[in-house]
Amino acid sequence: MSIENLKTYDPFAEADEDTGESKQAQNYIHIRIQQRNGRKTLTTVQGLPNKFDRKKILKVIKKKFACNGTIVNDTEMGEVIQLQGDQRKDVQEFLIDKKEGLELDPKTIKVHGF
Amino acid sequence: MDASEEHPDTPDRKQRKSVVFDTEAVVVEGDGTVTKMASAEAAQDTAQSHAPSTPPLHDALEAITNPNEAPVEEQTPAEDGLDLTMMKKKKKKSKKTEDADGEAAADGAAEEGGLDLTPDQMKKKKKKSKKTEEDELAAKIAALEMGEEGAEEKADEPKEEQSGDMEKGTGIFGHDETKPISYDLLLNRFFSLLSQKNPDHASSGSKNYKIPPPQCMREGNKKTIFGNLPDICKRMKRSEEHVTSYLFAELGTSGSTAGAGQLVIKGRFQQKQIENVLRKYIIEYVTCKTCRSADTELNKGENRLYFINCHHCGSRRSVTAIKTGFSAQVGKRRKMRTG
């Protein structure tokens, strides 16, 4: 048993100093849909974590969902993956998927649109 | 049923072209009352019921526990189908009259407000089989008052009288009674007392929040008119700008307001799709997360944050501002460059 007082950790330190790092987790991934002409649609995936290589992801997605896509460099939103067709559900499943996906937390993903 | 409604992320793709806009289904009058003309069913499973209510489960259980009563109970859902389109106020009014009438009206509540009290009723019926002594008495009273047909229905009401026993603390609820009270009984007592003393609270959990279904018309080929936006906004107590900006952000389009408060949205949208978005809006910006009541107010707090104040439970929470995300360039590039 150790003596609490002799520890280097200060129990009376300001609490919010520690929480600064964990608060950054509020970066959501937004999956949106846009209507094009006719019944064509676009799906955009915005806010993917930087640790992923978008090019590789796009390559996998294109093959998997049988759609074309591109990476758009937006000044505000950063790099956005843009896919042809309504791939919202597919993308969401892909992002969550533990086996062959990105193993992301479902809570960080927000699907927009109708 | 609710699970599928709560997750409107995947619209039915097959129906895209075959859906008919039933614009005549709802007539909105000047004073805000909404009357249903046709296709009550369609509205029932689309527009309303944000708060999870459990009529199907209830029906199923009903069928299991008491098959004889099925015809009696079937009336209430049918009534409710109409009720759904009615205004919230109306329901409240009926609640208040019950309150005024007091105990006597409690029986009426069991019949009239069918949907709200259904869990109660079910438990009562279950409990009935356990407590045989009172049940016999109840059956006798019922037999005196009504014929054989009504016996089943009437048997419910003495249960309500038994709740009087709960108040007085007689019978099994006596002060010196040492017999353990079953959970069902306790739960039942809680809910019956709650519905008696405070009908608003009792119903808030399961009461549906009702808005009229959005009216969508096509303008030309590429635009959609959202007809009854002001009405819906009034019902939700939100400003039209807020709702509009949310709609545009979520649908990824733009639009404008035409005369008479109509909203013109660019792009083709069906009623169902707009309903889904409205549902998301209500979940996000209208309902109170604590008590799930829709009696809330959206205020602009300090430093650009929006807060929802609940009038019902008094809670206050911040909501995220509406943000339009990345929107890809759609249409011809040449047009974008020149224009």
pLDDT of residue B293: 81
What DSSP letter does each residue of A80-98 carry, written as one string?
A: EEEEES--HHHHHHHHH-S
pLDDT of residue A82: 92
Model confidence at B90: pLDDT above 80: no
Cβ separation A32–B274 shorter than 8 A: no
pLDDT of residue B86: 39
**Band of pLDDT at residue A68, cut at 50, 70 and 90:** very high
Cβ separation A44–B327 shorter than 8 A: yes
Cβ-count burial of B50 within 10 angstroms (0-12 exposed, 13-18 middle, 19+ buried)? buried
Share of chain B above pLDDT 70, in %: 43
Give the orientation angle of helix B156-168 with respect to helix B183-197, to 10 degrees: 90
Model confidence at B7: pLDDT above 70: no
In this prediction, residues B173-194 reach a mean pLDDT of 79
C-alpha distance from B190 to closest chain A C-alpha (Å): 36
What DSSP letter does each residue of B267-292 carry, written as one string?
A: S---HHHHHHHHHHHIIIIIS-TTT-
pLDDT of residue A81: 92
Identify which has the larger pLDDT, B178 or B70.
Answer: B178
Cβ separation A112–B250 shorter than 8 A: yes
Identify which has the larger pLDDT, B131 or A62.
Answer: A62
Distance of alpha carbon B106 from alpha carbon B55, whole angstroms: 21
Q: What is the pLDDT of residues B184-230, one digit of tens each?
A: 888 888 888 887 777 666 555 445 567 788 888 888 888 899 888 88
Cβ separation A32–B276 shorter than 8 A: no
Identify which has the larger pLDDT, B296 or B40.
Answer: B296
Model confidence at A92: pLDDT above 80: yes
Identify which has the larger pLDDT, B106 or B141.
Answer: B141
- Cα B251 to its chain centre, rounded Å, is 25
Identify which has the larger pLDDT, B92 or A5.
Answer: A5
Model confidence at B58: pLDDT above 60: no
The partner residue sitting opposite A34, judged by closest CB among B8, B16, B328, is B328
Residue of chain A nearest B269, judged by CA positions:
A114
Which residues are CB-contacts of A76 (< 8 A; sequence separation ≥ 6)?
A: B326
In this prediction, residues B25-39 reach a mean pLDDT of 44
What DSSP letter does each residue of B144-207 carry, written as one string?
A: HHS-HHHHHHHTHHHHHHHHHHHHHT-GGG-TT--SPPPHHHHHHHHHHHHHHH-HHHHHHTTP
- Which segment, B37-46, B102-111, B286-295, is predicted with the most confidence on average? B286-295
CB B128, CB B152: distance < 8 Å? no
In this prediction, residues B330-339 reach a mean pLDDT of 62
CB B208, CB B279: distance < 8 Å? no
Rg of chain B in Å (alpha carbons): 24
Mean pLDDT of chain B: 63
Chain A residues close to B224, C-beta within 8 Å: none
Cα dihedral sign, B311-B315-B316-B318:
negative
Cβ separation B249–A33 shorter than 8 A: no
pLDDT of residue A61: 92
Confidence (pTM): 0.52
pLDDT of residue A63: 92
Chain B residues close to A76, C-beta within 8 Å: 326
Identify which has the larger pLDDT, B14 or B190.
Answer: B190
Chain A within 8 Å of B278 (Cβ-Cβ)?
A: no
CB B35, CB B29: distance < 8 Å? yes
Distance of alpha carbon B314 from alpha carbon B295, whole angstroms: 10
Distance of alpha carbon B19 from alpha carbon B321, whole angstroms: 33
**Band of pLDDT at residue B161, cut at 50, 70 and 90:** very low
Name which of A64-78, B32-46, B240-254 the model is least confident about: B32-46
Model confidence at B51: pLDDT above 50: no
The partner residue sitting opposite B325, judged by closest CB among A30, A88, A114, is A30
Chain B within 8 Å of A30 (Cβ-Cβ)?
A: yes
What DSSP letter does each residue of B114-138 carry, written as one string?
A: HHHHHHHHHHHHHHHHH-HHHHHHH
In this prediction, residues B74-83 reach a mean pLDDT of 40
Helix (H) or strand (E) holding B41: helix B40-46
Identify which has the larger pLDDT, B290 or B36.
Answer: B290
Cβ separation B330–A44 shorter than 8 A: no
Chain A within 8 Å of B284 (Cβ-Cβ)?
A: no
Chain B residues close to A39, C-beta within 8 Å: 16-17, 268
DSSP classification of residue B73: H
